[in-house]
Structure 1
Amino acid sequence: MAATLSACGSTNWGFPYRATIQQGNWITTGQVAQLEVGMTRDQVRFVLGTPTLQDPLHADRWDYPYYNQPGYGKDELRKFTVWFENDQLTRWSGDPQPDRQPFQKADSGKEAIALPGNAGTDEDAAGATPEAVKE
């Protein structure tokens, strides 16, 4: 009985179960690349989403924090901030952002690779040449 219970604690489905906690805004490098100086608040909201933090004392600053506390593993905290003057975007800064959405990772922790014959998108198969697949 003890050996059975100890085996349950060796994976992510261990005992006791610890749920993953995600809070904040997930921002990608593609979204950051769309930002341009002079954009309005509405345009920034369309690109990045509604900010998690809007401080009334700093009305010209929007903060986009993201926090992930997995049940097992290291915590992750990313920050991203945009600043406005006269309701126009003037600058932005923050931690490096990922180039994917959270659902774009395979369960193994490696990104899925689309190969000929695998279930991929039409775009993956349409532009692939035999030379490109070998690389």
Structure 2
Amino acid sequence: MRLSPSSLTRCGLVFAACAAAAGCGSVDAVSHRITDAITPYRVEVVQGNFVSREQVDQLKPGMTRQQVRELLGTPLVTDIFHAQRWDYVFTLRRQGVPDQARRLTLYFQGDALQRFDGDTMPSETEFIAAINKRRGGKIPQLEATEEQLERAGSKPSTEARAQPAEPPPAPAASYPPLEPTTR
């Protein structure tokens, strides 16, 4: 069976279309790999009140609203339709880490805390360790030792500490009047 030139052209076009479609799939796969490797910077978003396990442990039924506010801070959500309920919500969005969201709801009866419920909160050290895992992990030492202070020369010697400091200079004897003397 012989094919006519127009049939050959059609077969060639169909073959070229199939090859192009197959090629697009491999190009698409390569482009997905490239875009997965190169991602734009995503800003860290921290929103709400972080409430630690230590703070939740200090909550006791019967506490006043003011005591709760001093312990946990001002709630993120206070609803006019639910005046007897405070919601503490905390969200953290960081690149390369699943979004974190924690919620604590407090219920009041009048001015007294009745009950509370919500997610299990991490301790302060667990939370800091989770944040530092992403940033390199090592927690810096925040306090200098006695030896480091002396080496830096910022710590006064024991002789200088024993001597009393000189009194500050006396204030100026007269100042100009704040208002005009005559009216």
TM range (shorter): 0.5 to 0.7
Alpha-carbon separation, structure 1, partners of 2:138 and 2:114 = 37
Partner of 1:33: 57
> Which one-letter code corresponds to 2:133 in the other structure?
S
Alpha-carbon separation, structure 2, partners of 1:96 and 1:62 = 17
Identity %: 37
Alpha-carbon separation, structure 2, partners of 1:41 and 1:52 = 14
- Give yes or no for the alignment of 1:79 onto 2:103: yes
- Answer whether contact 1:28 1:101 (CA < 8 A) is retained: no
Of residues 81, 84, 88, the one that matches 1:57 is 81
**What 5-or-longer segments of structure 2 have no aligned partner?**
1-32, 144-183
- Give yes or no for the alignment of 1:66 onto 2:90: yes
Structure with the greater relative contact order (CA < 8 A, sep ≥ 6): 1 or 2? 1
Greater shift in the superposed pair: 18-27 or 69-78: 69-78
**What 5-or-longer segments of structure 1 have no aligned partner?**
1-5, 122-135
Pairwise CA distance, 1:15: 4.2
- Give yes or no for the alignment of 1:97 onto 2:116: no
Partner of 1:88: 112
- Answer whether contact 2:64 2:113 (CA < 8 A) is retained: yes
Partner of 1:48: 72
Instruction: Pick closer, same or farther for the CA change 1:112–1:59 going to 2, 3 Å.
Output: same
Q: Give the CA RMSD over aligned residues.
A: 3.0
Matched residue SS, 2:98: coil
- Answer whether contact 2:43 2:94 (CA < 8 A) is retained: yes
TM-score, length-scaled by structure 2: 0.51
Q: CA offsets, 1:47-95, max 9 Å, x none?
A: 1110000000000000001111112221111110001002100100000
Alpha-carbon separation, structure 2, partners of 1:79 and 1:47 = 16
> Which one-letter code corresponds to 2:95 in the other structure?
G
- Give yes or no for the alignment of 1:107 onto 2:151: no
Instruction: Pick closer, same or farther for the CA change 1:63–1:71 going to 2, 3 Å.
Output: same
Partner of 2:41: 17
